[in-house]
Structure 1
């Protein structure tokens, strides 16, 4: 592995761990999938079978109850209803038993119980139920009841007991299988934990020894070699340079350092030889430099004297004493420069007089321009302030218009809500009117009943009078009933009149509410129109505000430019004045 990089070694180690993790995950997922399949089978078989058997038992009890109800019913409707319930219980019992047998095909007890239950419902109780449904007299009913108690009822208990036993057995088996699945799940969890912990420990131990062999030992050897080289012992051998990993790269780099150190020692020896040679050359060059320095000092002193005379204003000075051959050109150049400087200063004096006159005129013009620019800047500043005020006013108008538009929208919404409320009120008034009409009809019926009661009481009084002494008490009661009927009729008449008046008032109220709704609709239309106008005004105000803002920005920019121009004119005036003063000097 010495030719594999550190990343390759790390990936190799991690691949071992990854393979172990994948194997552990495969084992866990396979175990969980098996448990899930077995638990799904438990739900699809035992649980479904238990539910089907319980419902079959319930329909067996329902058939028992329907047969009992059929024995005590006396009307055709009750007989038909109970017979239909019995038939439904019989068919449902067979269907749920089929589902139970489909869920548990290995259970041999379900088919005999189904056959026995259907035999009870069809053979033992079927004729009794049909006879009870056709019984019309007491004798037939009693005969069917005796047949039910003798031939039918005792057999229900046996079938129900068997269904209960089978249900308990299936539930017991389901519970046992659920416990087995729970134990298997725990075993899988423990095995997974153990495998993960063991694998992690194995990977850590293997990683420790592999890293020690692949990295720690080679790096420690390189460390010792580095310390030896650092102490100045360049005879130490650098091991590991033949490796192709990062450790090999470090060893190669260390070998380069060693080779460079060896070359450095050789170069130091060569440098010592060069220093000896350079010292002899230095002595010879120092003598030549001394002679050159004396010649340079003579030339420098002459130039210094000439510059001193120039600084005092003496432009007629010339260097007459000859310099060394190397500096003779410098003396000639100095004399030529002094002559040219003298001629140039004479020309500058003439030009300065001309500049003085022009500077005076320029200063006066710049002063006039500065005054006019300041006046223009003041005017633009006033214009900008006025535009700022106008812009603020237009912005305020826009805000007020937006507020008015919002208030108009709210008024429109309020009007719409009021219209909806009025519509509901109209609807309520109409329902009240309909209720009043219905109450009036009911009062009419009460009036008719009172009239008929009055007639009956009158007839009862006539019959009581015919009965003589025996009918006096009855005649008194008939008279009271007649008076009560008359009072009821009078009260019904008064209530009917009141309801008629109420109906008239409700009708008037409906008309008034309808008129109110129409008026609110007109108001809403006006508010919509006002809202449209305010919307147009707000749009126009926004456009005006935007335009004025742009104009205001332009004026402010002009104001700033004018102020900058004024400042520049003032600077130009000051510069012209300074130039005139310099020209005078």
Structure 2
């Protein structure tokens, strides 16, 4: 059985299992869908409508109660309109609900509701008529009579809701049961499919994938050049066996071809270009490939032998050797390029020899002028640039020698003048050194006086700082006294307010004592005494307040004067510090000046020594410049031998 037939049977069996699985799933889905449609189309609307009717009847009952309790005609008319609307709403809901009543239990309950509700509506009309006439007692009696009817049809509505819920629960349980059965069936079918799929995977892997992977690995190794492979499964009678036998034949042919090619390569690497391979040992394209390799080696050997002969002539100094054989394609291009390269090399060498001969004769005007390519053109450019730079260098040397001669002459004269000026400077420096020494002694004396002034300024600043600190302490004490006066003023104000309040209390106590008559006489006397004491306390508080106010003004003036005195002393201290800083700066500057003068004395000594050396060096420079002028004259004579233009 072929692989194609096996795969077809496996796929047919899998399709059959999928068909059965789909049929079972569709049956379960249709059952669940029917139950859901029943819930959505009958059970849920029945529950909603019965609840709506129950709510509307309760609202109608509440409107009746409000109508009885109301005595306003407008309010009664509004409630009657509301009741009419509720009756119309209930009627519409009943018409929508009646088609949903299909079971005997529901029909029985609904008939009971319809009978009781009709009786209730008849009594309601009578109740409204009595309430409109404000016969509240008769209307209340009707309310009590209809209480039983209202409770009865309300129970019927609640029962209808319960029946609808039971039907919904039953439909839901049925749907759950069907869904569970369908889920079990689906799981079983899915398990069967998974098992069959795993079996098919194992069979494909064992019978097809692993054998094909083995053959693929073998051919891959052959493709990468690994011919030491063994092809198995050649004994199988199916497609895999045929593929294995074909792979083994391919590997054998490639091994033979690789062995012959290896012999050719080894012979070529060893320099034996006459070795050939027998094409009869191979078949088909392999034989044609071997014959083509033999022809290729033959074709490549001929120009190589001729090229070797030309290179031997070139190595012996014979530049006339050329390739003369007849070739095609790239070999003909090789021949042409080789001959052109030799021609270009010979032409370039001839020009270089001519240019070198002219340079030996002192003629720098000749350059390489032929047309060349590649490295020959680079060599030509480099030689011409070298000649151009040499011409420029020789020209610059010629021009510079003239300038150097004149400069050397002028330098010698200047050196003599420098020697004379150095002698005069030496005399002046000796006089300056004596003056600077006297200046250094004067600066030292001034520095000592500045140090004593600095000490006096520091003492003054310290005394001023001590006075400022004591004034600051005095100012703080005066400020604390001022703050204490403020607190005393607050306490005095509090005492004044307490005295005022006490006086008011004494007046109130006197009034109350007068009202009490003889029993309040003693209390009135006490109240008068308290009032007099309150007045005296208020007067004393006001006197104290005046005294404290005067004392506070005096204290504030003292604070202001102390502050001004402290500011004045701070300015004195600041001036003393500034004076001390200035004197310190002067002292430091004088110290630096003294050091600078001492250094200047040392520098003058060095300058005197340098002036003596400069005079001697100027004499040496003069002699050296005269010798340099003679050398430049000799160099100019050598440069004049070259022809630059």
**What's the TM-score, normalizing by structure 1?**
0.40
TM-score by length of structure 2 reads: 0.37
